[in-house]
Amino acid sequence: MEKYEEYKSHCQKIADIEHSISILNWDQEVYMPEKSAARRAQQIATLSGLHHQVSTDKNYGKLLNKLSSDSSLNEEQKRNIKESTKEFERNTKFSEEFVTKMSKTISESFIAWQKAKQKDDFSLFAPKLKELVTLKREECEILGYEAHPYDAQLNLYEPGATVKELDFLFDDVKNQLVDFVAQIAKAAQNDDSIMLQYFEKSKQVDFTEELLSQMGYDFKAGRQDISSHPFTTTFSSKDVRVTTRVNENDLSEILWSSIHEGGHALYEQGLLDENYGLPAGSYLSLGIHESQSRLYENNVGRNIVYWNHNFKRLQEIFPEQLEPFNVDDFYKAMNLVKPSLIRTNADELTYHFHVLIRFEIEKELIAGNIKVEDLPSIWNKKYKDYLNIDVPSDSKGVLQDIHWSHGSFGYFPTYSIGSFYAAQFYHQALKEIPNLENQIENGNLNPLLDWLRNKIHQHGRLFAAEELCIKVTGEKLNFKYFMKYAKNKYSKLYQLN
């Protein structure tokens, strides 16, 4: 076991450097002063180079090779070695020069995106994005792929996912969800004016921290801050931080941001600390990660039983705004289905059209069939085609997401994959947890969290995503659970036949 302990120690060293980079990234998006941007890009690039050195160390490779044939290891240890070997082989495909260049370009791209969004001008971001897309295409060639270069990007976030599979999945979205949303559009529309009042920022933040605590988020192992784009970052299972976004004239922005990020954070806090740095101590895939955030945001957070408990508290905090309304008014407002400009503010049905648009753009951009300078016009046309919306500006259109500035091509599809997993997992939880929705209605979310900890969180990357889904639900990912959930819920809300 001496060699295995040596392996664990090296993995933790890699993780230490990785999480040090994460701290700098978190600070860059939350607190960093503007003049620090250039040096911060340099600092992150330096650490990224060091991370690459340690991750591709030849002696580490020899150690993995030796442990790969060690029959004395148990199944979990063998899986750790197998996953670490995959990572090592992928990392050794890249030169340190390429890794450092990618890191520096991403940091510079993020700063350019921030300025471009602030000034509502895509042209300020385009040159850096062009550099980044060129690097990402080069990355695809280095990583290798069988059918489509975008497969190499997808595999970074959802291992095994391919353009072919996602085309099939999004065909389900087009063939089933589009028609259902069209039915809803013809029905009498609900009113969301309850959300569109003045709500003091500090009170909003305090309330969402109450909700996070109720979910089981441990504030002794995390914190909530404000950022332009909500995100969750992890330094270990004992330090998992969330950010949220506040609009004093729209209560819905912070509610779904905080609950969504809280779902991500619960997953990270549920990873076993004893496995820090090992595959068994890291999340499985971004589709599974998104399943946790979307389950809490939608299956729980937009559920009437959740607000039967929490709306009274919200009325106490904002009596003037909410006294004239009841929980049913609030429930209808939060589940309004209508096309919208901003993905993160979209309802849970049209949300998948936003993801579909990004998927279609990204795969063609990475394939070289779309030019960066043409992105605004292509984006605007797709929003007109899929959502019948005219995009008024770059900041509300092609610049709205942070992902491309991070080089996160291939990330967007995991949002839809995650929603579909969430519906399937929640369906199973309802079957296995006695009186689950009664418990939620009483403000007790612990049984759900315990179930997720046991079924998903504690396993880290010991199973592939499809393997875990079968283990939890008895079958692989099936879109029918999402459509069943959507039709049951929204047919009642909109009084459809």
* Cα 190 from Cα 495, distance rounded (Å): 11
**Based on the domain organization, do 140 and 234 belong to the same domain?**
no
In this structure, the dihedral spanned by the alpha carbons of residues 171, 175, 177 and 178, taken in order and rounded to 10 degrees, is: 110
Distance CA 91, CA 96 (A): 10
pLDDT level of residue 258 (50, 70, 90 thresholds)? very high
Of 82, 115, 144, which residue is a domain's last?
A: 144
Whether residues 57 and 190 share a domain: the answer is: no
Q: How many domains does the chain have?
A: 2
Residues 174 and 80 in one domain: no
Q: Mark whether 272 and 383 lie in a shared domain.
A: yes
Which residues are catalytic, by number?
Answer: 261
- 151 in any annotated domain: no
Residues 257 and 129 in one domain: no
Query: Could you tell me if 341 and 300 lie in one domain?
Result: yes
Contact 198, 211 (CB under 8 A): no
Q: Which residues of 55-68 are buried (b: 16+ CB within 10 A; e: fewer)?
A: bbbeebbebbeebe
pLDDT recorded at residue 35: 92
Per cent of the chain over pLDDT 70 is 100
So what's the pLDDT on residue 114? 92
Residue 419 forms part of a structural domain: yes
149 in any annotated domain = no
Average the pLDDT over 347-356 and give the result: 96
The pair of structure tokens assigned to 282 is 């890291």
Provide the b/e sequence for 258-296 (b: ≥16 CB within 10 Å). bbbbbbbbbbbbbbeeebbbbbbbbbbbbbbbbbbbbbb
Which residues 6+ apart lie within 8 Å of 351 measured at CB? 343, 415, 416, 419
Residues 237 and 116 in one domain: no
CATH code of the domain in which 318 resides: 1.10.1370.30
Query: Among 10-19, 41-50, 291-300, 358-367, which is the least confidently predicted range?
Result: 41-50
The pLDDT tens digits for 60-79 are 999 999 999 999 999 999 99
Is position 158 within any domain? no
CATH number at residue 11: 1.20.58
Res 320 pLDDT > 80 = yes
Q: 315 and 194 in one domain?
A: yes
Residue 105 belongs to a domain: yes
Structural domain that includes position 13: 2-144
Quick check: is 153 in a domain? no
The pLDDT score that the predictor gives to residue 77 is 97
117 conformational bin, left if phi > 0, alpha if psi -120 to 50, beta if neither:
alpha
Domain boundary residue, one of 94, 115, 144: 144
pLDDT for 25-49, tens place per residue? 999 889 899 899 889 989 998 999 9
Residue 144 has a pLDDT of: 95
| 169 in the same domain as 132 | no
